Structure 1
Amino acid sequence: MNSKIKTTLLVIVLMALSCKEKALEKYNDQSDSQGHPSLILTKSGVEKIKSQLGSIPIFDASLEATKDEIDAEIELGIDVPIPKDLSGGYTHARHKRNFLMLQKAGVLFQILDNEKYAVYVRDMLMAYAKLYPTLPVHPQTRSYARGKLFWQCLNDSNWLVYSSQAYDCIFEWLSKEERDTLENDLFIPFANFISEGNPQFFNRVHNHSTWGNVAVGMIALVMDHDELLEKALNGLKTDNLKVGMKDNDGGFIKVEGQKVGFLANVDEPFSPDGYYTEGPYYQRYAMYPFLVFAEALHHVKPELKIFEYKEGVLLKSVNTLINLSDADGEFFPLNDGQKGMSYYSKELVTAVDVAYHYGGNNPELLSIAKKQDRVLLNDSGLAVALGIKEGKDKPFDKKSINLSDGSNGDEGGVGILRSKGLELVFKYAGQGLSHGHYDKLSFSLYEEGEEVLQDYGLSRFVNIEQKGGGNYLKENKTWAKQTIAHNTITQNEVSHFGGKYEVGSKHHSELHFYDATNPQVQIVSAKETNAYPGTQLHRTLAIIDDEDFEKPFVVDIMNVASENKNQYDFPYYYFGQIMKTNFEYKVPSELKPLGKSIGYQHLWKEAEGMPSSDNVTFSWLNHGKFYTITTTSDATDNLILARIGAKDPEFNLRREPAFIIRRHAKSTTFASVIESHGNYSPISESAVNAYGSVSSLKVIYNNENYTAVQIENVNGKIKILVIANNDALNKNEHHLEIKNKEYKWVGSYTYITTIN
């Protein structure tokens, strides 16, 4: 046994009786029948933890790491500075660290029975109780809802969610006079400020409001305050907001008849599949308040049956969120999303532990917990630690999955196709609230955790003060949200829905079909009819695993039907070094932006050419792997090599490349094959299979009912993929004649090999 653990156990034995006696003395006038702790820890859970200490390795290690951290923090002393900074500044970071330390110290007091942790929590909370009544709203004016400790109410809510847990842990240890001071000078005014004082923040359906609702709800449960709990669950009954009023995030605060409060924030943003409409980055962020409050409600208000609410969507959403990550566990950056955020974050440690403990002990979640290598110091963490100790873990098998969007699952969705290391993410979802992007029918592609064709994500350096105070940069609106920043069609240099939130929020793409039942051909198809008036977009993406090709490859078919002639720009945002093209291009002597606005102003035009045949090939090398796009082309197409970074004097954008196909037409079809092939070793200086396998790609049939593409490889093998553009029911039979050959099949598509 680790010597530090032995020391910890000795401390427990020596301190337990004296601390329990002191706690009983101070609690002699407490009338709460539930007892404390009761939020994320329970009395019975604490006893179980103590009985297992020293025998549960991952829990013991998590406890020791937390103890070391808090002991060091106590040595430094308490600092509760006057707030003044934006994200990343000292006062912001200090208050953020304080609430994290408070929560951890409270838990340590319960588990170790060492009074120094209770003293630390009490003294810091008392310092806040002295400071809070003196504070005006935060001096930084950027937010639509300014906090007091922080520049926005969102962060104030973070503080209260964590601090409520600390208060719960020392509640019985405190005297009545101390509790009265904390509640009357700090917690009740704090909760009222977040709610009644900021209805434009509190009465919304948004991740911000979830934090606000949970903050008020958590402290309400500790104090047994029914009025505050009602506000938390169902929102403010009346407010002075105008219907349709906007916040400065670009989202609506309230719409006619919209429900608000915590329960509404479970009902509305989550689809029945557990997909959160703002995207995985903000789903990750919101999972912490969703699940800690659910845990607390389960303990204190079991009659609500919160884990069964909306058919158990909160627990289901954890599996969904893990499926929205790549091979390395990093979340796909749909909508506003910072790249690199992963299931190793503290929010996902909470999510995995809670979902395992309350969701049926799914052994696949234990494998994620093992990778995270830490657990919560509470009932849920103990359950996970015991499951790992007993060897119950099984690998989390991320398969192809189609996730619906919208409260009822009828507002589009996200399709993920996976095959032998390739992961394709197809977005045909709703707007995604104020964090949504204008990128209908966009996709991204990964191989073994590395981006091949990227979604840019957000434009923000989170909590880095020197970059816009750590907040969203103006380029998030001028670039990252705009359609041209994504791998999808932009018409006439105008973003989808004109880049207008109020228009985009009314519409979503429609799934045409999804089929991952055949491991050889996994396919998803969706339509968008509202992004551009008079234009219908229909995109089909497939990953095909064919023995006549080295690896699975992607087929991308974008059908565009329009009443008018338009300019279509169809980009692929790749990474790496260009190897070869089959077209000539000219490099200008002076770089100029590709356009003037709507994202185009941020693209340098580095080169331009035209097709030399009816197929264009574009190859590049990245992370030791070769990639080739083969696409059908018109003789008048413009082929543009571009790079992000124009009109960006503060260097806020990443300088990354794109290959753009520009076409002028009414109705047209963009058909492409994307291959991963071969490898290059800088050690052996050896290139293997550096050329793609596709020798020819043709659209051999195309009308409103069917589209057929023919792929010929270098060995003369011909493959044909036929899509039913209208009748996509799996049970229906199709007959089609192409070049005097008859094709028959049942279902939405067919894939065949023919003899040349």
Structure 2
Amino acid sequence: MRLVTAIILLVLAVSCAKNEAGNGLQHPNLILTAQGVSLMRSSLGKVPLFDQSVEEAKQAVQSEMELGIEVPIPKDLAGGYTHERHKANYFAMQKAGVLFQITGEEKYAIYIRDMLLAYAEMWPTIGKHPAERSYARGKLFWQCLNDANWLVYTSQAYDCIYDWLDEETRIKLNKELFRPYAEYVSVENPQFFNRIHNHSTWGNAAVGMIGLVMNDEELVDWALYGLDLEVPGDFVKDNDGGAIQLEGQKEAGFLAQIDHSFSPDGYYTEGPYYQRYAMYPFLIFAQALANKKPELGILNYRNGLLTKAVYALINQTNAQGEFFPINDAQKGMSLASRELVNAVSMAYHYGGQDAGLLSIIKSQGRVPLNDSGLDAAKGVADQEVVKFPYKSIELRDGADGTEGAIGILRSKSLTLVMKYAKHGMGHGHFDRLGFLLYDEKGEVIQDYGSARWVNIEHKDGGGYLKENHSWAKETIAHNTLVVNKDSHFDGKVDEAEKSSGVPYFFSATPSVHVVSAKEPKAYKDVELQRTMAVVDIAELEHPLVIDLFSAQAPVGTRFDLPLYYKGEFMASNQQFSANNNLAPMGEESGYQHLWAESQAKLKNDLLQITWFNNQRFYTATSVIEDGDEAILTRIGANDPNFNLRRDPGLIHRRKSGNTLFASVYEIHGSYDYATERPLNLFSSISHLTVLHQSADYAAIELTLESGATYQFTFSLNDDSKASNHSISTSKGKIEWSGVYQFIKTEK
């Protein structure tokens, strides 16, 4: 790697020598350019969304300027005064820098200069942050990650006033603030800087961007290719249990981040919440490199992977634009975030001006104050805004796309997500083959997300709560199968990281969307496979979800299949017995946080429950076997500080060997509060039967109240579209070609 680096650096050195008179010294040249600034100035008053964004920035900066310069001695965690003050400072400086360039008003430059000089005075006087919670303690903030955030934003401000500053001030800031700062988050903390992780992406971008501003090639080299340093042996894990160094990792730096963090489809292995967070340094540093080092062709790297990553993120949202809360994720994070405001405009500007992005940009209501933001705002003003074309898609995981995936099925207003990707490093959850379900109103069957209140000081300083490990990451907290009350991989991150889910089949036609995946290693001697289909049946109000969860396991295995429905329990066809004296359902693996509110010994052939949410009814119908039980649960046991939401759930419990859990999920009816009138509040499913279950096939039959009958048959091990299949059932022989068949058998 170092030989390749040396060759590249030689090329860069020659290029820099050629450009020193222009590109190397003229500022701004990081995110803004002289040409871009000229165009922005001439466009003022002509592009409404851009004008609105400029005015919002002016108001925000004016409010900060009226407060004066405040650089308090660091002492607080996230959400605390000093943390939030330094955070507000870097946001204000970045905006002020852009406003100085656009308006020419010197007050913005003076504000940045005075702020930076205050930091330059303070920096040599402070040591590591007093909070000792991070594997890489920062100085301004409790962790180096936030220090890197500060430098990413502040380097943009510095670039905007660099030529305005006198030489003495530039030298002072370079030597006394920025170079020592860059060294602190890199060579003084290699366990932070040399990882493949969203933390290190911020670190790489921070050091690289300030290096570009100061024309410090050594810093840029560190940023692009990592440090030629060994991570100290006492740094093995981060605070989330993730490995500092990945198995077999030989590279570090920004290019290695792109190589190893993303799949060819743009999926980010830590999940969409952290992909959103990492996209800002990925894209803003890429934009800086495109401006200052165009010879790198960074925006075309890996076939334009960074632009693909923006599309991958957009595809991982529900109808409200909120990201699927896979792995550690705070619910509600959405396309409205500042990172995506920058990302979507960049994807539009550098990705061929895709008109499908304009509806998202318009809904965001603001654009970044740079070339891409102006271009995006012009697109909104000048073009017909069309809706982004969401569709069913499988996003592969792993650097080469061979380490699992997530499957997203979309049909009309319904969206289903199934996860069979890699674990997700320290932010991963033990949720192989778990799923989430949405309609256009929001969550139908939910994932808990993370146990964290970001930046809320009341809740342990805004960091991850202990319940994130004891509950949110555990398998029982997800809509997937739990074997013998133990989490997947025994709850061990190192074991989970060794393998991924196995994609088996993915298909999307206008009326039938299917995803199937396997998990052979989560439990010893147990093989799991889940097949989910979204089918459009004309006589139903909404598409219907079919769920076939197959397990090959030793006789006597205990299975728990949770369903975390969103809303209020309405009714069931089973007789539940309420518990007057509540007790936790177990002592570990997340069960210690579940109350068993009620239970039922299941009778007859079906388990049905109906719940209500967002003025709509939902019903889950499941086939039962002799001895099955159902438990109505409530999150919140062993939670003295009330850190967990008190959400309801249903656990379908079975003791068996090889088995098949067969269910369908139906959206139906409505209730109008103003008229107090319910419509279609009962399920349309009158019967559901397993026609065949084996290691090779699964087949079900569902009957509607109208008498219409449908069959879904699926080949579990032969995914050839050309294969012919035949199975014997109680309804006779069923034959079909291809992996699956969904047919109507009776009117």
Q: Same fold (TM over 0.5)?
A: yes
Asked if structure 1 preserves the Cα contact closer than 8 Å seen for 2:148 and 2:203, the reply is yes
1:172 equivalent to 2:163? Answer yes
Q: Deviations over 1:88-110 (max 9, x none)?
A: 00000000000000000000000
Give secondary structure in 2 for the equivalent of 1:353. helix
CA distance in 1, matches of 2:531, 2:139: 50
Name which of 243, 253, 276 aligns with 2:244: 253
CA distance in 2, matches of 1:538, 1:700: 18
- Aligned partner of 2:568: which letter? Q
Q: TM-score, normalised by structure 1?
A: 0.95
Give secondary structure in 2 for the equivalent of 1:332. coil
Moved more, 537-546 or 698-707: 698-707
- Aligned position for 1:538: 529
CA distance in 2, matches of 1:520, 1:218: 49
TM superposition shift of 1:354: 0.9
Asked if structure 1 preserves the Cα contact closer than 8 Å seen for 2:551 and 2:659, the reply is yes
CA distance in 2, matches of 1:240, 1:540: 43
Asked if structure 2 preserves the Cα contact closer than 8 Å seen for 1:243 and 1:256, the reply is no
TM superposition shift of 1:737: 4.1
- Aligned position for 2:677: 686
1:103 equivalent to 2:94? Answer yes
CA distance in 2, matches of 1:736, 1:492: 31
TM superposition shift of 1:364: 1.1
- Aligned position for 1:551: 542
For 1:612-623, what aligned pairs fall within 5 Å after superposition?
Answer: 612-623=603-614
TM superposition shift of 1:30: 9.1
Distance 1:392 1:592, change over 3 A: same
Moved more, 527-536 or 611-620: 611-620
Asked if structure 1 preserves the Cα contact closer than 8 Å seen for 2:710 and 2:746, the reply is no
- Aligned position for 1:12: none
TM superposition shift of 1:409: 0.6
For 1:520-535, what aligned pairs fall within 5 Å after superposition?
Answer: 520-535=511-526
Q: Deviations over 1:407-428 (max 9, x none)?
A: 1111111111111211101001
Q: Deviations over 1:528-576 (max 9, x none)?
A: 0000010000100011111132321110000010134211100100122
Asked if structure 1 preserves the Cα contact closer than 8 Å seen for 2:24 and 2:215, the reply is no
TM superposition shift of 1:738: 3.2
CA distance in 2, matches of 1:466, 1:617: 40
TM superposition shift of 1:743: 3.3
CA distance in 2, matches of 1:264, 1:212: 13
Name which of 563, 566, 578 aligns with 1:572: 563
CA distance in 2, matches of 1:572, 1:539: 15
TM superposition shift of 1:240: 4.1
- Aligned partner of 2:604: which letter? S
For 1:285-296, what aligned pairs fall within 5 Å after superposition?
Answer: 285-296=277-288
- Aligned partner of 1:636: which letter? G
Asked if structure 2 preserves the Cα contact closer than 8 Å seen for 1:710 and 1:719, the reply is yes
- Aligned partner of 1:278: which letter? E
Give unmatched runs, 5+ long, in structure 2: 1-19
- Aligned position for 2:365: 373
CA distance in 2, matches of 1:348, 1:234: 26
Name which of 694, 719, 725 aligns with 2:710: 719
- Aligned position for 1:161: 152
- Aligned position for 2:445: 453
Asked if structure 2 preserves the Cα contact closer than 8 Å seen for 1:32 and 1:224, the reply is no
Give secondary structure in 2 for the equivalent of 1:593. coil
Name which of 51, 56, 73 aligns with 1:60: 51
CA distance in 2, matches of 1:420, 1:258: 46
CA distance in 2, matches of 1:537, 1:81: 54
- Aligned position for 1:18: none
TM superposition shift of 1:746: 2.5
CA distance in 1, matches of 2:678, 2:96: 56
Q: Deviations over 1:664-683 (max 9, x none)?
A: 11111100011011011121
- Aligned position for 2:736: 745
Distance 1:244 1:67, change over 3 A: closer
CA distance in 2, matches of 1:616, 1:257: 49
Give secondary structure in 1 for the equivalent of 2:699. strand
1:396 equivalent to 2:399? Answer no
Name which of 109, 124, 149 aligns with 1:133: 124
Asked if structure 2 preserves the Cα contact closer than 8 Å seen for 1:693 and 1:713, the reply is yes
Distance 1:416 1:449, change over 3 A: farther
Asked if structure 1 preserves the Cα contact closer than 8 Å seen for 2:669 and 2:679, the reply is yes
Name which of 221, 232, 237 aligns with 1:230: 221
CA distance in 2, matches of 1:191, 1:564: 59
TM superposition shift of 1:392: 4.6
CA distance in 2, matches of 1:502, 1:742: 46
Give unmatched runs, 5+ long, in structure 1: 1-28
CA distance in 1, matches of 2:231, 2:609: 57
For 1:559-708, what aligned pairs fall within 5 Å after superposition?
Answer: 559-708=550-699
TM superposition shift of 1:119: 0.4
Asked if structure 1 preserves the Cα contact closer than 8 Å seen for 2:701 and 2:712, the reply is yes
- Aligned partner of 1:485: which letter? A
CA distance in 2, matches of 1:694, 1:145: 55
Distance 1:243 1:392, change over 3 A: farther
Give secondary structure in 1 for the equivalent of 2:360. helix
Q: Deviations over 1:136-171 (max 9, x none)?
A: 000011111100000000000000000000000000
Moved more, 149-158 or 366-375: 366-375
Q: Deviations over 1:109-138 (max 9, x none)?
A: 000001110000000001000000111000
Q: Deviations over 1:647-703 (max 9, x none)?
A: 000000000000110111111110001101101112111111111011111111112
1:360 equivalent to 2:324? Answer no
Moved more, 147-156 or 235-244: 235-244
1:150 equivalent to 2:146? Answer no
- Aligned position for 1:320: 312
TM superposition shift of 1:72: 2.3
Q: Supply the RMSD in Å over aligned alpha carbons.
A: 1.4
CA distance in 2, matches of 1:608, 1:390: 60
- Aligned position for 2:335: 343
- Aligned position for 1:478: 470
Distance 1:736 1:492, change over 3 A: closer
1:755 equivalent to 2:736? Answer no
Give secondary structure in 1 for the equivalent of 2:261. coil
Q: Deviations over 1:279-326 (max 9, x none)?
A: 000000001000000000000011110011111110111111011000
Asked if structure 1 preserves the Cα contact closer than 8 Å seen for 2:190 and 2:229, the reply is no
Asked if structure 2 preserves the Cα contact closer than 8 Å seen for 1:326 and 1:449, the reply is no
Q: Deviations over 1:16-56 (max 9, x none)?
A: xxxxxxxxxxxxx9987351111111110001111111111
TM superposition shift of 1:338: 0.6
1:425 equivalent to 2:401? Answer no
TM superposition shift of 1:742: 4.0
CA distance in 2, matches of 1:510, 1:704: 16
Asked if structure 1 preserves the Cα contact closer than 8 Å seen for 2:61 and 2:92, the reply is yes
Asked if structure 1 preserves the Cα contact closer than 8 Å seen for 2:23 and 2:292, the reply is no
CA distance in 1, matches of 2:720, 2:265: 22
- Aligned position for 2:454: 462
TM superposition shift of 1:646: 0.3
- Aligned position for 1:6: none
1:113 equivalent to 2:104? Answer yes
- Aligned partner of 1:123: which letter? D
- Aligned position for 2:399: 407
Give secondary structure in 2 for the equivalent of 1:268. helix
